[in-house]
A and B are shown apart, each in its own frame.
Chain A
Amino acid sequence: MIDEPFAHGSSIIHRIDPRFKAVFAGALSVATAVSYRFEALFFALGLSLLLVIAARLAMGLVIKKLMVVVGFLLLLWLVLPLTFEGEVFTRIGPVKITRPGLILSAQITLKSLSILMMFIALVTTASLVTLGHAMDRLGIPAKIVHLLLMSYRYIFVIEQEYRRLSRAAAVRGFTPGTNLHTYRTYAYLVGMIFVRAAERADQVYKAMRCRGFNGRFYCLAEFPAHRRNWIFAGLMTISLAVLVLLEFTNAAQVLT
C-alpha cells in the first residue's frame, strides 16, 4: 500500500545530490505558484515535463499520479467559468461562460500540473531517508528532520499492525456499512492503533536510553561532491531566471 515508486533509478536526475534537487524543487515551485502570465506558466509546464522525462520514470505511473489532481481540476473547469463574473466568453443556452473564469481555470491547471511534476521529478526521486539527510544538511531544524525520519521508520510497522487488526475484525464477520456499529468498530481500530503506537514509542524510548541517548540524534550520510551537481544547479538557475523574466517582462517586447 505504501511505497516509493520513483525513489530508485539510475537516471541523471536520480544521481544528482538530493540537496540540490530539494532546493530547486522549492524555488521553482514557488516561482511557478506566484506566476500568472501564460508565457511563464507554459515555460514551467515544459520544464517540469523535461525534468520528468530526464528522470526516466515509468510514464504510466506518473500519469496515474497526475490523475488525482486532474479530477480536481476538471471540477474546477466545471465550476469556475460558470460562477466567476466578468466578460462573457460564450453562452450555452441560458448558461454564460466567462472569460476570467476560463483564464483562472487554465492558470490553476498549468500551475498544479507543473508543480506536481517538479515535485515528482525532483523530490520523489530520492527515498525519504535520503531526503531527511538532505534536509539535515540544508540546515532544517534537527527536531523536524528526526521527527520525519522516526515517523517514516514506524509507518510500515504500524500499517502492518493495522492490517492485522482489520483482518481480525473481518474474520469475525465485520462488514462495513453506514451505521453506528461500523463507525464504532473503526473507532476501536483507530484507538487500538494509537495505543499500540504509544506502547511502541515507550519501548523505543527505552531502547534509546539503553544505548546512552542523551538528547542527540546523528545523521551520518555523506553526499559526495560531483561536477554534475553544479551543472544541474547552473541549468536550474537559468530556468528560474527565465521563468521570472517571462512573468515580469512582456515577452512580446523582448522578442521584438
Chain B
Amino acid sequence: MNTDHPIICLNNISFSYPGADAPVLDQLDFDFYAGERTGLVAPNGSGKTTLFQIVMGLLKPDSGHIKIFGKTVSEEKDFVAVRPRIGLLFQDADDQLFSPTVLEDVAFGPLNLGKSKQEAVAISRRMLSSLGLEGFEDRITLKLSGGEKRLVALAAVLAMQPEVLLLDEPSAGLDEKTKEHLVGILKNLDISYIIVSHEFDFLAGLAESIYTLQNGKIVLDTELHLHEHVHAHTYGRQPHKHD
C-alpha cells in the first residue's frame, strides 16, 4: 500500500452557496491516505455533504486545488476519469436509486464501465448476495423500505469496485438491526472509507480516526478529546453506552 501520497488531497478549498453570508468551507486542507478509515462528525449544515460533492466534482469550489490518486482534477473530464474509483453513497437513497428495478440499479454502474450485460448482471447478483440481499433483483426500487434502499444503494456503489468509499450519513433513519447489519458489512470490507455521521456511537465502531468540521475547516481531534466533546454537546442528555 502506498502511503507516501494521499489518494485524496484537498488544498485551500473554499465554497459558499449563493446568497449565504459565511462560506461553508473556508480554506480547508485535508489529506486522505489509502487504507485509512476516517470518521467525520459535525452538525447538520456544516458542509459535510458539500465537501463530498466537491471531491466528486459535482460542485465547483470557489478556490483551491484537488488532487485525487496523485493527479490534479479540475475539469469535468478529469472527474469523469476518477469517479468510478470513488464510491459516493448519497444521504438520501431515493436520489441514488433511480432505476425501476433493483437489478437494473446495481448493474447501472458496471454497464457504464463497459461491462457486458451478462457480466454486469453477474457482478450485481454477487454484490447483492454479499450484502444479504438475495432475491431482491426484481424488486421495484420505489417499493423498498428505507433500510433496504440504503443497502441496495450501497450495493450499487460497491458494484463499481471503487477504491475509496465516501459515505454520507449512512446510518440516518435506520433501525437498530439494519444499523448493526451495515456496521458488519462495512467492518468486513477491504476498502478505505470516509464516513460522515452525527451519530458518534456508529462512527466509534467503524473509524480509526475521527475529525470534525469547524468553521469550514477539518480539524483532527484525539479520540478521547472528541469523545468528551461530542458527549457534552450532542449526546450528553441521551442514554448511551461506554465501552
Contact = CB atoms under 8 A, between A and B. Distances in A.
Interface of A: 127, 129, 132-133, 149-150, 152-154, 156-157, 200, 203-204, 206-214, 216, 218-221
A149 B104 CA distance: 12
A216 B101 contact: no
* Majority secondary structure, A binding face: helix
Interface residues of B, number: 33
Nearest to B103: A220
A204 B100 contact: no
20 contacts: A129-B101, A132-B100, A133-B100, A153-B141, A153-B142, A206-B58, A207-B96, A207-B98, A208-B108, A209-B58, A209-B83, A211-B108, A211-B112, A212-B84, A212-B109, A218-B104, A218-B107, A220-B107, A220-B117, A221-B101
A101 to B, nearest CB: 47
Nearest to B94: A157
Given A207-B95, A207-B96, A220 B53 contact: no
A132 B113 CA distance: 24
Contacts of A206: 53, 56, 58, 90, 95
Contacts of B56: 206, 210
Nearest to A133: B100
Contact of A211 (B92, B142, B156): B156
Nearest to A150: B98
B90 A203 contact: yes
Interface string B76-103: 0000100110011010101110111101
Contact of B112 (A133, A204, A216, A219): A216
A156 B103 CA distance: 20
Contacts of B220: none
A212 B95 contact: no
Given A204-B98, A212-B84, 19 more contacts: A127-B140, A129-B100, A129-B101, A129-B140, A133-B100, A149-B100, A152-B142, A153-B100, A157-B142, A203-B90, A207-B90, A207-B96, A207-B98, A208-B98, A209-B58, A210-B87, A212-B109, A213-B112, A220-B107
Contacts of B156: 211
A210 B158 CA distance: 12
B113 A212 contact: yes
Nearest to B117: A220
Nearest to A206: B58
Residue with the highest number of chain B CB atoms closer than 10 Å, among A150, A156, A209: A209
B88 A210 contact: yes
A128 to B, nearest CB: 8
Contacts of B101: 129, 220-221
Contacts of B90: 203, 206-207
A153 B98 contact: yes
B104 A219 contact: yes
B160 to A, nearest CB: 6
Given A153-B100, A220-B101, A220-B104, A211 B58 contact: no
Given A211-B109, A212-B112, A203 B100 contact: no
B121 interface: yes
B34 interface: no
